Each structure stands twice: as structure tokens, then as C-alpha cells.
Amino acid sequence: MSSASVEAATNLVSAKQSHFHPSPARAERLLARFKQLRNFTTTLCAGLEPEDYVVQSMPDVSPTKWHLAHTTWFFETFILKKFMPDYQSEIPEYAYLFNSYYNAAGDMHRRDLRGLISRPTVREARRYRASIDLHIDNLLSDADEKLLDEIEPILVLGIHHEQQHQELLITDIKHVFAQNPLYPVFRGGRAPHSARAEERTATECRPYQFVEFDEQTVEIGHDGHGFAYDNEGPRHQALVHPFSLASRPVTNGEYIEFIEDGGYRRSEFWLSLGWMTVTEQRWQAPLYWTKRDGAWWHFTLSGFRAVEESVPVTHVSYFEADAYANWAGARLPTEFEWERAALDCPIEGNFVEEENFHPRALSASGDDRHLHQMFGDVWEWTRSAYSPYPGYRAAPGALGEYNGKFMCNQYVLRGGSCVTSRSDIRRTCRNFFQPEKRWQFTGIRLARDPQ
């Protein structure tokens, strides 16, 4: 997931800060937000056993224990070590184990070997979190207004950073559980869909419509008010030619039609590298899908279930999204078309706070002339390569490293998913992954040129 620079985080510190409340109230507000974040991470881990915390099912997946410790290391490294002169790490070796990609912060353990680290134990990782949380509490409680001015942007950045790791934690544990023939349940008691099948209306299953947009020069990127990652700027103008965008994401039922029409056997729909990946990996359906007695089933965080046709398809790669679009006589949108279309869409939807942990079927709306599910449910692949905006420069230092150096061989996704935090999504958010990745909640929305 994308990180950010101090420069981007400092966007939070506007001229309005001179009118902030006195430091005690301000510190209490920051502490309340910090504690809410950390408590929600703990909530997401409820029900996991110690054995679940340590498994690494593939190099892209990190063990749950590592996520808990890495997000803690972030606050320790970039806040406590900087703003508490007398602070001493209780276990300095954690800096090596739980650094991820910040070269300027020191050496790091190999990502693909994180699952081999049985020590520190889960209990010790929790103790580490509690210790750092207490230090943050003490630091903020004693900070004056000037010190809070320096701490707040980095603390807020750390909060958004942990929200991204909450999302990774869920997608990673899903991949871990999916390797187990017993199909463990991450959360029981909730079906992964929005309603019982008999309660759905015909409106939900109607074909999507294309919503047309005229040519327009639009402002792309974050406007500088509030938090944003540095890859969301600088804000700039872009000419977006006429296009149309599907009113909703592609559903499982629609994707099954692609499968049954030989989609995974017909090379004419695929990019060359995509076709090579399909044949080498022997893909026949989205990740977690399997066919039993002529019907499609898939693993969800609520267990092994029949595929529900009205729910947005997810766990598809860029290659699969592009092939489906070609099969459907359409294409994927550019990220600029997506952002232009999202300007008038409210940021609401199925996010992690609802704890569904799965996309939901579109509820009956009676209006197919508007865009639906632009936010939440599934990250939507765009055809835009992940590259810097005009004038982009990564900030110096460890916190400026991540975004710029990964702007190569990846594609942009927009809109967030069912495991994204509502408070960590913006119309300008640019997620990014390599085109073959599909363990995240990634889906498809079609676009077309003028007919």
C-alpha cells in the first residue's frame, strides 16, 4: 500500500492551526483518535489464535504479528525517538525486524522471511504495542502547543499508515486462512452479502448502464485541505475527453458469463504478459474460486460459500480486468476519468467499519442513470500506469521514500474496498499494485469511448 512523505503530512498544518484549542484539549483530541485507531486494530484481531498470527502464506503476505509490530515501530521511530530526548528502545533489535521499506531508517529483515520469525512471540508483540502506546500518551499529555504543531502531522500520518495496515492485515489473513482445508472463519454470524436472495429486487440484477460525461478540463489531485499522501499531488489540470462509465461494478454473475464463454482459454482478450501469466499459473477463475458439482464457490472471511451472482466480482488482477473489458467490448477507465466521474459522488459505501469484510450487492435504487458503489466494496482497476503527477518530487528522508520509488510497473486503483477505512479514502486516493496481483479486494468497472 502507498505511504507518504512528511511534506504531504504537513498539509494538515494549515494557517488555521493558530486558532486551535489550548494544548490540553488538542492533546486529548489527538489521543482519542490515536486510541480509537489502535483499539480497532485489536478488534480486527479478535478471534484469532496465536498460531494464526505467525503464518506467511506467500511473499506478498505479512503475518498478523508483523503488522501489529510494524505499525508500532512506526510511532516509536518517527515520533518517540524524535520528540522524546531521553527515550530509549527497550529492544533495539525490533528496529531491524519491523522496518519495512524505509532505507533511511536503517537495515531491515527480508520481507519474504517474516513468517520464519517466531520470536518475539505474539504476547511480546502486544506488550510492545502497549508500551509504545503508553509513551505516546505521556508525550502528548505533556506537550505544549509548539511541540504539538510538530507532532500532529506525523501522528496523523501514522494513523493513516496503520489504517492501511488494517486493510492489509485483513486481506493477508484471508489468504492465510484460504490455504487451510478446514476453511477457518475470520468472522462468523454475518453473511458476506447484503441481504437474503429472496429479499433482493430485480433492480439489483439489471444490466449496468453507461453514464456519459462530456469533455472537460478538470483539476486532478488533492487540493491541499486536510490529509493526503504525496502521490495525490501536485494538483494539476487534465483534459478528459468524452467517455462513459458503467453505473456499477461488474458482478460475479457477469464475470461467470466471461468464464463460461472461454474467457480464460481465448488469448485474443489478453495482454501478452497476461496470457503468459494465465497459462503459467493455470488461472481459470478469480482467486479463491472453485467449481463444485457444476456451481462456483469461493472462500470468504465468513467461510466457504456459494458465489453470489449479484455481488461485485473481486480478487481479480489487472490482466483479468482488462481481458474482461475486451470481451465485453469496453475498456477500463483512466484514473483521470474515474476522478472526474467521482467529483459529484458522495464518499459513502461498504467500508471496513461496517465489518462485512466482503463486497455487497447493490441495493435497489430504481435509477441506473447515476453511478453507484464508486466507494467501498472493491478497489477498481484503471488503465493508468502508476506514475508521478507533473511537478511531483519525493520529500527527503525516510518518510519520503515509499511512493516515488515504486512508480514503475504498477497500475492505479481507485475508490477503496470493503476493508478500507472510511476515514482513509478520498476521491484523489491512488492505490497501486502490479498487474498480476489479486489477493486484494480488487474489481472492475467498465468504461467506453463515445459510440
Q: What is the pLDDT of residues 381-424, one digit of tens each?
A: 999 999 999 999 988 887 777 677 789 999 999 999 999 999 99
pLDDT category at 190 given cuts 50, 70, 90 is low
3-state SS, residue 166: helix
Q: What is the pLDDT of residues 112-122, one digit of tens each?
A: 999 999 999 99
Q: Has domain 6-178 been given CATH number 1.10.3470?
A: no
- As a whole number of angstroms, the distance between CA 98 and CA 114 comes to 9
Pick from 25, 429, 36: nearest CA to 227: 429
CATH of 197-448, one of 3.20.20.140, 3.90.1580.10, 3.10.20.740, 3.40.50.2300: 3.90.1580.10
C-alpha cell read off for 44: 480486527
Beta bridge partners of 380: 414, 443
Note the pLDDT of residue 364.
Answer: 67
Whole-model pTM: value is 0.91
CB 362 within 8 A of CB 375: no
**Bigger pLDDT: 278 or 398?**
278
Note the pLDDT of residue 22.
Answer: 47
CA distance readout (Å), 45 to 53, 99, 117: 9, 21, 19
Note the pLDDT of residue 365.
Answer: 57
CB 341 within 8 A of CB 247: no
Pick from 276, 272, 301, 300: nearest CA to 286: 300
Chain mean position to CA 90: 32
* DSSP letter string, 13-72: --GGGGGPPPHHHHHHHHHHHHHHHHHHHHHHTTT--GGGGG---STT---HHHHHHHHH
Q: Strands 379-385 and 442-443: what pairing?
A: parallel
pLDDT category at 5 given cuts 50, 70, 90 is very low
Domain boundaries, the chain: 6-178, 197-448
Is the pLDDT reported for residue 439 higher than 70? yes
* DSSP letter string, 368-413: TTS----SBSSEEEEEEE--PPTT--PPSSGGGSHHHHT-SS-EEE
Note the pLDDT of residue 166.
Answer: 98
The mean pLDDT value of the chain amounts to: 91
Q: What is the pLDDT of residues 310-321, one digit of tens each?
A: 999 999 999 999
Report, as an integer, the average pLDDT of 22-27. Answer: 78
pLDDT category at 202 given cuts 50, 70, 90 is very low
Note the pLDDT of residue 199.
Answer: 42
| CB neighbour class for 390 (10 Å; exposed up to 12, middle 13-18, buried from 19) | exposed
Note the pLDDT of residue 400.
Answer: 76
Is the pLDDT reported for residue 20 higher than 80? no
